[in-house]
Amino acid sequence: MVAAYTNGSGMILIGLGSNVTGPWGTPRQTLERAFAALGEPPLGLVAASAIIASEPWGNKDQPVYANAVARIRTRLQPVELLSHLRQIEREAGRQRRERWGARTLDLDILDYNGLKLNKTAGQSTDANLVLPHPSMHERAFVLKPIAGIAPRWRHPVLGKTAKQLLAGLDTGKGGKVLNGNGKETA
């Protein structure tokens, strides 16, 4: 039951990213279709952030990303949700080839009602599921959209809001958030 996973944050946040054209269209069109998919049962879309452009994370030799965050509701357990998100990625043409490589669609569970899962502690039944997302607090392209749709959200481990985490972010890390003209934004 989902209630067993709630520790007070009460939010399920999904990170969305795309930087290559695929079956669903351009990266922006792909994110718009992904928002629609996140609104279909067994999920429900509660809020969708603005779509922003950001520099690639990890492998810098690839196109600029379109990024966003969605707040959803579901009765799926975290591992079931991850499986469902991977199915949406496949429908959008995602092929997992390289870490931090270009992709048609990337969907990450950022926070699941404040649940803390750590694979090294044996708490996760899926080797790829760690909650909260282990790098979200370092990524401006994740924190800025969260601040827009969930200003009261707090990081389950660090206890800070997205705005507080953004303020403490090293400007050389986290991928720069770009405006539509490819210029860095504040």
Active-site positions?
A: 94, 103, 106, 108
H/E stretch holding 143: helix 140-149
Is the CB of residue 28 less than 8 Å from the CB of residue 123?
A: no
- Do residues 78 and 112 make contact, with C-beta atoms less than 8 angstroms apart? yes
104: nearest Cα among 122, 119, 90: 90
* 81: enclosing H helix or E strand: helix 78-91
Cα–Cα distance, 150 to 145 (Å, whole number) = 8
Query: 133 with 108: CB under 8 angstroms?
Result: yes
- What amino acid occupies position 73? R
